[in-house]
Amino acid sequence: MTLSLDYDFLIRLCINMIAIVILIRLIYFSASQHRAYASSFILFGMGVFLVTSQLATVDISMGFAFGLFAIFSMLRYRTESITIKEMTYLFLVIAMSLLSAIGTMNYLGLVLLLSLICFMAYITETSLLLPALEEQTVQYEKIANILPEKRAELLQDLRDRLGLDIHNVEIIKVDFLKDVALLKVQYVPPVSK
């Protein structure tokens, strides 16, 4: 019995795993701190690569391979509420793994493409492209302040009471029986010392 190594497979696996670790550990995890999602994304990326590269010997299209893993990912993650951010990173991990496994580009092109994906993810996680805002849901009892003409008073009251630099507020739900409103507050995160 002889062991035959397919160097193309190993090189593409290494490129894929390095790119996924950079994307998830250095970009996603440093911004989100969700260890369970981060480890799942890394393992999911490796699994997608391994299965897809083995299916590459069968005559399938990129669309079929992507559809197959999209279905599997939705079946797994449909039981738990997953945010749009986690869904986006899951999509990126699947796309990177599919490109690495059955993409037709050379190694340099693959490295450049995966680097571009990681770079764009990094840019969106920083305040270079979009302002860094966090969200919080609060129950607000001064229901008279939710009127459109009292928006400035509402923002100032929230700033005073929460001690945060409130950027925007959105009314989610109003309960007139209890005289409270559920608000989604977007604020600039305080600088930690």
> 98, 52 in Cβ contact below 8 A?
yes
Dihedral over Cα of 38, 41, 44, 50: its sign: negative
Q: Which residues contact 96 (CB under 8 A, 6 or more apart)?
A: 16, 19, 20, 23, 45, 114, 117
Q: pLDDT tens digits, residue range 3-59?
A: 446 888 899 999 999 999 999 999 998 878 778 888 989 998 999 898 888 776 666
pLDDT at 107 over 90: yes
Q: In what order do the strands lie in the sheet with 180-188?
A: 134-140, 180-188, 165-175
pLDDT at 61 over 70: no
What are the respective helix, strand and coil percentages of the chain, to the nearest 5?
60, 15, 25
Q: DSSP of 43-77, one letter per residue?
A: HHHHHHHHHHHHHTTS---HHHHHHHHHHHHHHHH
Q: Residue 3's pLDDT is what?
A: 46
Region 91-108: mean pLDDT is: 91
pLDDT: is 190 or 41 the higher one?
A: 41
pLDDT: is 84 or 98 the higher one?
A: 98
Q: How many CB atoms lie within 10 A of CB 103?
A: 17
pTM > 0.85: no
Q: How far apart are CA 24 and CA 35, in angstroms?
A: 10
Confidence band of 77 (pLDDT split at 50, 70, 90): low
Q: Which of 26-35, 73-82, 100-109, 127-136 has the highest mean pLDDT?
A: 100-109
Tell me how far CA of residue 94 lies from CA of 34, 76, 185, in angstroms: 19, 14, 32
Q: How far apart are CA 48 and CA 76, in angstroms?
A: 14
pLDDT cut 90: percent of the chain above it: 37
Q: Residue 135's pLDDT is what?
A: 85
> 99, 88 in Cβ contact below 8 A?
no
Helices H, strands E: what count in the chain? Answer: 7, 3
Domain boundaries along the sequence of the chain: 7-125, 134-188
Q: Tell me the average pLDDT of the chain.
A: 84
